[in-house]
Structure 1
Amino acid sequence: MKKVLYLVRHAKAEDRASFQRDHDRDLVSEGIMAAARMGRHLAAMGIKPDCLISSTANRAKDTGKVIAEQLNLDPDSMVLEARLFDGGPKAYMAAINEVSSQCQSVMLFGHNPDISYFAEFLTHADVGSMSKGAVAIIEFDGLEWAEVSGRTGQLVDLIVPKKLKES
Structure 2
Amino acid sequence: MKKNLFIVRHATAEDIGNLTVVRDFDRELVSKGIMEAAKLGKALSEYFPEIQAIYSSGAARALSTATIVAEQIKFDTEKIEIKDALYGSGPRGYLEVLNTIPDEIQNAMIVGHNPDISYFADYLTRDDVGGSMKKASLIHLGFEGFQWNELSQHLGGFINRLEGSH
**Under TM normalisation by the shorter chain, which class is it?**
over 0.9
Partner of 1:143, secondary structure, is coil
TM-score normalised per structure 2: 0.95
Shift of residue 126 of structure 1? 3.0
Superposed, 1:131-150 pairs within 5 Å as: 131-150=134-153
Cα offsets for 1:56-112 (capped at 9, x unmatched): 100000000000000011111011011210100000000000000010010110000
Shift of residue 40 of structure 1? 0.7
Structure 1 stretches of 5 or more lacking a match? none
TM-score normalised per structure 1: 0.94
Contact kept, 8 Å, 2:102 with 2:148, in 1: the verdict is: yes
How many angstroms apart in 1 are the aligned matches of 2:133 and 2:29? 17
Shift of residue 161 of structure 1? 2.4
Contact kept, 8 Å, 2:54 with 2:81, in 1: the verdict is: yes
Superposed, 1:2-151 pairs within 5 Å as: 2-16=2-16, 17-127=19-129, 128-151=131-154
Task: Show structure 1 runs of 4+ deviating over 6 A.
Answer: none
CA root-mean-square deviation: 1.0
Q: What's the counterpart of residue 161 of structure 1?
A: 164
| Count of aligned residue pairs for this structure pair | 163
